[in-house]
Amino acid sequence: MKLVDGCALGNHYWVFAGGLTNVHVILRVTDTSTGAVRYYEVPFGPAFTPIQDTSAFGTCSARAAAAADGAGAAGDADTQAAAALRQSALADIDARLAALAAERQAAARQLNGAVPSCSTTSTTMCLNNNRFRVQATFNAGASGSGNAQAVELTSDTGYLWFFSASNVEAIVKVLNGCGLNGHYWVFAGGLTNVQVALTVTDTQTGVSQVYNNPPNTTYQPIQDTSAFSTCP
């Protein structure tokens, strides 16, 4: 989920959300400056329906009024301090995630007695015990295109960003469903509407699956429970 300041474009704050599940979800978002609340409900059964609400909160004027009340050198200093603290927090999170990924890879090498065939880079994440390589490209037209930046969250899950490390665009996970239907599963959800080509490769067999999201299209959830019939 992400909250985007769209005040300069449509005088609203935007709410984007995507899920990797098909269970019943109720999402509550509150603007703490005004008390305004938005609820989003996803029913049990279907894949998590993407949320791209660009009219979520028409409370930009409240922010402007608060800024005017707090205008001055002190207010500017507070704003700069808050921005610096936020950047510091993001850097700390990135460092912790990188350290965690390195620890997982070292543990996997020790366990398997060999270097894993998938190597994590800034544009590659290695999921499900480093077996599956996940990469993506994006094309946002005049806004830019290229390789998505990849960040691992857990051994099975990671996220992608395109333009800014603080702006998550998609979440991906690869699950071992061999005990249920003899396949590895690929789930993905996006917080974008740009063109995306997501590629997942089983590095043990070389088999790949490519999932495409067309341009100017809300990223549709992927729940592919027959992605790789390459068990175990």
**78 occurs within a structural domain:** no
Say whether both 128 and 37 belong to one domain.
no
Residue-wise pLDDT for 166-188, tens only, equals 999 999 999 999 999 999 999 99
Domain total in the chain: 2
Cα-based angle 48, 191, 145 (whole degrees, multiple of 5): 140
* In a domain? residue 170: yes
Same domain, 146 and 217: yes
What pLDDT is recorded for position 102? 67
Find the domain containing 10 and state its range. Answer: 2-70
Using an 8 Å Cβ cutoff, are 198 and 164 in contact?
no
Q: Considering the entire predicted model, what is its pTM?
A: 0.71
Same domain, 61 and 132: no
Task: Assess if residue 94 is contained within a domain.
Answer: no
pLDDT single digits (tens) 45-97 = 989 999 999 999 999 987 666 555 655 555 566 566 656 655 665 666 666 66
* 109 in a structural domain: no
Based on the domain organization, do 127 and 207 belong to the same domain? yes
Residue 93 belongs to a domain: no
Tens-place pLDDT, residues 32-47: 989 999 999 988 898 9
- Per-residue pLDDT tens over the stretch 155-166: 999 999 999 999
Residue 140 sits in the same domain as residue 216? yes
The DSSP code for 26 is E
d(CA 53, CA 30): 14
Q: Is 127 found in the same domain as 63?
A: no
Same domain, residue pair 201 and 138: yes
